[in-house]
Amino acid sequence: MSQVNITSTGRRTLMQTQGFATTVKHLILALVALFWLSPFVWLFFAAVDPRATSAFKVPDVVTLSNFVMVFAGSSSARWIINSLIIAGGTASVVLAVTMFAAYPFSRMDFKGKNLILWGLVLIRIIPLSAFMLPLFLLCVKLKWLNLIGVIVSLAMLNIPFGLLLIKNFYDTVPKTYEEAAWVDGAGILKTIFSVLFPISKSGAVVVWFMTFTSSWNEFMLPFILLRNPKLWPMSVGLFNSFGLHGTINFGFLAAFSIVYAIPSVLIFFTLRKNLVSGLSGAGIKG
């Protein structure tokens, strides 16, 4: 690459141009990585710094006390539990409902089926803001300004997408397995649980963990619906701690942020292949 090979026409060889181009590309990528990773630098320093502020500073003393505070503090521990309840509850409800509902959509032909399927796709266009007000008023009436209201609301919003995903998975299962089960006298419960579900398990996993992640990250809905600080999930707890300048410190919040972010990151990297194919499959085919 470093040898200049002048051809008869005086142009540099393809290889040398390629070499230069490659270096440029790596440089661009390095800048991109710098842009994407620099905000984290402060976060990680602050998380282990017992005296962190919003200012960038390499800590003199490194400690894990902030992380201990996250799990030991009564409010933050409660927020973690609430997040688990909301995310796990929503994911389970969505999976349970769509697991059953997707079967008729996949195997049956009934009036309005395609209309409903198209409707489900279109529903995703409506911004969350449009649902916030009716959901708030409804939860006030039903006295559901608590975790149940949040789970029901989030489930409602995630079921359309979940159904489309599971239906696509069921579509790939050949009917022969079911027919064999029917010969043995299986009812619908057995058909779904024992036949379809094990085969499309990867689809179920995708739906469960995608719903878990999106509910885990959700902010606006719990922010508006949950009036009692004891019920806040981590997103709302973090937001409300921004302003408590004197009482809560940046090191704690940084550690808290890291703990909060870990499940989402972990889930993605563990399930990456399934998630991406599932997403693009259902999202584009729609």
Partner 1 sequence: MRGKLSKFTILLCVFLLIGFVGFATGQKETKAPTTVSIMYGTPWKDFVQPAVAKFEKETGIKVKQVVLPPGTNPDQKVALDLAGGVACDVIAVDGYRIPEFAEAGYLLNLDSYLNNWSDWNEYYEPMKKMVSFKGKHYGIPLDTDVRMLWYWKPIFEKAGITMPWQPKTWDDVLAAARKIKAALPNVQYPLYLPVGSKMGEATTMQGFYMLLLGADTPKNDRNRLRDWNAGKWIGKSPALLRTLQVYQTVFVKDKLSIRDIYYTPDVWGDWRRAMIHGNIGIGLGGSWEFKEFWSGAGVKVPSEQEREKLVGWAPMPGSGVPGAPKIVSISGGWTFAVNAKTKNADAAWKLLKTIFTKENFGRWVAGAAKVSTRKDVSEMASYKQDKYIAAITKLVAYTTTRDTYPGYSKVSSYVQSATEDILDGKTPQQAMDNFYNNLVSEFGKDKVTVIK
Partner 2 sequence: MVVGLSKRSLYISLIPFALFILLLVFCVLWAIAISFTNKSLIGISAVHPRFIGILNYAKLLRHPDFINSLKVTFSFTFISAVVGQCIIGLLLAVLLRQKHIRFKAFFEVAVLLGWLLPDMVAAFMWGAFASATGFLNTILAPLGMKPINWITVKPLTTVIIANVWKGTAWSYLLFAAALDTIPGELFEAADVDGATAWQKLVLINIPIILPTILVNILLVTIWTFGYFSLIYGMTGGGPGHATEVLSILMYKEAFESFHIGYGSAISISMTIIVGSLSVIYFWGQRRAADVSG
Residues numbered 161 to 220 that lie near partner 2 (CB under 8 A) are 163, 178-179, 182-183, 186-188, 191-192, 216-217, 219-220
| Binding to partner 1 in span 165-204, by CB under 8 A | 193-194, 197-198, 201, 204
Identify the helix (H) or strand (E) that includes residue 157. Answer: helix 147-171
* Rounded (10°) angle between helices 201-217 and 250-270: 160
Instruction: In angstroms, give the least distance from the CB of 148 to partner 1.
Output: 5
> How many Cα atoms occupy the beta-carbon half-sphere of 139 within 13 Å?
22
| Binding to partner 1 in span 241-260, by CB under 8 A | 242-247
Residue closer to partner 1 by CB (options 25, 230) is 230
Per CB under 8 A, the list member of 80, 94, 135, 147 interacting with partner 1 is 147
Residue closer to partner 1 by CB (options 71, 193) is 193
The answer for residues whose C-beta is within 8 angstroms of residue 240's C-beta and 6 or more apart is 229, 232
8 A C-beta contact, residue 74 and residue 232: no
| Binding to partner 2 in span 224-253, by CB under 8 A | 224, 234-235, 238-239, 242, 250, 253
**Structure-token match 């002048």, residue found:** 6
When asked if residue 88 is in the footprint of partner 1 (CB under 8 A), the reply is: yes
Per CB under 8 A, the list member of 62, 72, 77, 276 interacting with partner 2 is 276
8 A C-beta contact, residue 154 and residue 221: yes
List alpha helices for 48-127, DSSP H: 65-72, 74-107, 113-123
Site string for partner 2, 83-122 (x = CB under 8 A): -------------xxx-xx-xx--xx-------x-----x
Gap between the terminal Cα atoms of the chain: 48
- Amino acid 165 reads L
Instruction: In angstroms, give the least distance from the CB of 231 to partner 1.
Output: 6
| Binding to partner 1 in span 94-133, by CB under 8 A | 95-96
